[in-house]
Amino acid sequence: MMGTTPDQALLRLGEALQQADYHHITVTPATHARVNARSSNQWASDLTGVFGWSRPFREQAVAGQIFELMQQADIIIPWQGGWRSLLRASTLNGNLYFHSAWPTDAAEAVFFGPDTYRYIAAMAQHFCVAHPSVKRAADIGCGAGPGGIELALRFPQAEIMALDINTAALRLSRVNAALAEAAIETVNSNLLSGVEGDFDLLVANPPYLVDREARAYRHGGGSLGAGLSLDIIDTSLQRLSPGGTLLLYTGSAIVDGNDLFLHAATQRLQGKCAWSYREIDPDVFGEELAGGPYSDADRIAAVLLCVTVPA
């Protein structure tokens, strides 16, 4: 494997995991912490422990080829007499996605979690009803790439872009797309500022919480985390082709029974276009309600906004 680049090695590692029938569903950080805290889970004994649960491991827990590929991909570090992977691998709809290891403390962490599963399921449900003609689409804030990859597999003749300001996310999106045999173009872009032209379809699963450390993968900014989601609405209204659609999966703080994001979105959309709005999950990130900016909130809901501009 002389001359293998880190990206090539990571792709080969993903292929090796697929051949080993690797499967892992990523849970919430709180659940992850509880499961890993069990005495029997202090060290990984198999691939799921290494790549799914981000547990430290000893070299004999993985095959020699996989250990070598981890080294070549530069995703392995020494850890308390053993080793630890800097990436996790999760599966969704039969595809494998590399993303940041747990815990995701770094400012440039690449997100993948329960929101991702809800996001992709909501997209699939939408396309069961709507059958748009898509020539050009983009996933805004692509993270590990699932939105763009799912679009590329669904609309193989379309030009699909995966956009993010995080170079680590763009790298993993490229590798994950290659693993899924999905044709996407990755672009470093703040919203749509790095690309030209209009789009038939825009999708987004942006961060929507207030994060004390303002980590890009988690911090939505604005009032109770809604800032980035509202910016996506404003940008999309300017860049959608006639008849084009925005699918925005995000979160909303409900305060005294009032949906604050819905109120702000209504002010932007009412009378300008057709749109619908529904809760996907009424109660997510409940731990945020313990204090801080959400001390007055009833709950945080995961929601889906569908906007279609006039043809």
List the CATH number of the domain containing 130: 3.40.50.150
Which residue in this structure is represented by tokens 């392995």? 76
Q: Which residues contact 238 (CB under 8 A, 6 or more apart)?
A: none
- pTM recorded for the entire structure: 0.95
* pLDDT of amino acid 2: 54
Residue 152 within any structural domain of the chain: yes
Q: Are 86 and 129 in a shared domain?
A: no
* pLDDT of amino acid 244: 97
Q: Are 139 and 265 in a shared domain?
A: yes
User: What pLDDT digit, counting tens, does each position of 266-287 carry?
Assistant: 999 999 999 999 999 999 999 9
Quick one: 267 exposed, middle or buried, by C-beta within 10 A (0-12, 13-18, 19+)? exposed
Rg, the chain, Cα only: 20
Which residue in this structure is represented by tokens 């801080």? 292
* pLDDT of amino acid 217: 84
Residue 1 within any structural domain of the chain: no
Strand-strand pairing, 199-204 and 274-281: unpaired
Domain total of the chain? 2
Residue 286 within any structural domain of the chain: yes
Q: Which residues of the chain are modeled with pLDDT < 70?
A: 1-2
Quick one: 186 exposed, middle or buried, by C-beta within 10 A (0-12, 13-18, 19+)? buried
Q: Are 169 and 254 in a shared domain?
A: yes
User: What pLDDT digit, counting tens, does each position of 111-146 carry?
Assistant: 999 999 999 999 999 999 999 899 999 999 999 999
**How far is residue 160's CA from residue 276's CA, in Å, rounded to a whole number?**
24
**How far is residue 81's CA from residue 103's CA, in Å, rounded to a whole number?**
20
CB of 281 closer than 8 Å to CB of 113:
no
